[in-house]
Each structure stands twice: as C-alpha cells, then as structure tokens.
Amino acid sequence: MGPAGSTTRLDVRRAARMTDYWWVAYRRTWRGSAISSFVVPLLYILAMGVLLGGFIKGDPDQLEGATSYLSFVAPGMVAAQSMTTVFGEVTYPVMGMIKWNRSYYGMIATPLGVPDIVFAHLGFVVFRVALVSGVFLAVMAPFGVFSSVPGVLLAFLVQLLIGLAFAAPLYALTAALKNESGFALVFRLGMIPMFLFSGAFFPVSNLDRWMEVLARFTPLWHGVDLTRMLVLGRVDASLALVHVAYLGGLAVAGWLLATRLLHRRLID
C-alpha cells in the first residue's frame, strides 16, 4: 500500500476500525443531545399536532389523505427532525475535525484512507439519525397516528435514507468551505426554508405555483412525502420509487463529491 492516507478506495474493514473512536466520542457528548432527542419530539407533537391541530379540520382531501392534522404533521416532523439532526452533525463538527482539532490529519497519518474516514463519519451520522427518528416514532405511537407496524418500520428506514441524502452533500460542502462563515447561509437559506416550506406542516399545494414546484425539488419534500405515505398506509408505489431514487441518487453523488473534496483538502 502507498503512503498513509493516500488510498482512494474504500475499505469497509478499515473504516469499521473507527467504531471505537466514534463510540468513545459519543459517550463523552451524548448528554448534550439527550434532552433534544427525547423531549423535543414530545413537545412538537403536543404543540403542533395536538394543540394547534385541535383548531384545524381533519379533511383528508385537504391533508393528503390524513384524517387529522396530527396525522398529517407528525410524519412530516419526523422527516424534518432527521434533516435538522444532519445539519447539526455535518457542519461544525466536520469543520472542527478539519480546521480546529485537526483530527482528520491524525487519521490519514495511519493506513486509513479518506474514503474510510468519510464512510465512518457518515455511519456515525446515520446512527444519530436512527436514534433521533426512532425516539420520535416511539413518541408518536400513543397518539394513534400509525396505520401499520410494517409501514412504521419502513418509515424508520426512510429516515436513514433521508439522513444520507442530506449528510453526504453537506459533508462535501463543508469540506469545500475554507471556514465556518458560510454556515450562516447554509442554515438560513437551506435548512430553515426547507423546514418551513417542504410539506412538513402544510401541503405544498397551498404555496404559489413557482414555490410549489421549487418545494417538490427539495430532498426534504421527497422525504416528508415518502414518510407520510408509509405512516398513513397510503402508498403510491410509483411515486415512492421516485422518492427513493431521488434520495438515493443524492446520497451517492454526495458521497463521491465528499471523498474527492476531502482528499483535496487534506492531501492534495
């Protein structure tokens, strides 16, 4: 093998050796995310679904098949929470490992290659999304939103796909940025508009036509719509395949770009 860190091919066995690193790191920091992971979902459900939902008529024709506003908004909030979790995990933490604590430089001084580092880090992000979305779905269970257990299990897997669809491109963007000043625009012009206008809280058909078209091109809309149809048991197979292909394609493209940009940042 060539110089340490110079390999451009992913070796899953090498990447798996980083499990200890991420486990130790999470054991040191999990308390900081425990409250947001467990309490925030409950507050979202009570505030948006139960309290606000009590003032909204549950018309299935107006709520994409949902019989109540709670049934409509809860799946959307799960997908939105998966997205916001990724933004928190793949912006400042990745920049820190490149620029501040420079952990990545220590990693590439070993036989680990850049693809191994990216793979392991994205694996940790998926783990975080799994925890957050799993808790969110568990909180939803007593509220009678679910139509079937298989649909919920598939919706959980969709959250992992949503996580990858956001994490890989965001990782690439972070690797390309010279400093953290660009994150303000990423959050203000990226995360927040998608959170508000991608169908999580109201049907995108309520938007002006040009905004509706734009919303349907966002990855969050695909994730929200796919999650909602699985949770409610109203699956359109052809549209579901489009959602999966879109999110999967975004994850693959982001992965390829992320490994290339991080290699250029650390080694080239």
pLDDT, mean of each 10-residue run, the chain (268 residues): 62 91 87 73 75 65 74 90 94 94 92 94 96 90 86 96 97 94 93 92 91 95 95 92 97 96 89
Dihedral angle over CA of 86, 88, 92, 96, nearest 10: -70
pTM score: 0.91
pLDDT of residue 2: 44
Q: How many helical (H) and strand (E) elements, i.e. helices and strands, does the chain have?
A: 12, 0
**For residues 108-133, b (16+ Cβ closer than 10 Å) or e, as one string?**
beebbbbbbbbbbbbbbbbbbbbbbb
Half-sphere exposure of 38 (CA within 13 A, CB side): 6
**DSSP one-letter string for 83-98:** HHHHHHHSSHHHHIII
- pLDDT of amino acid 1: 42
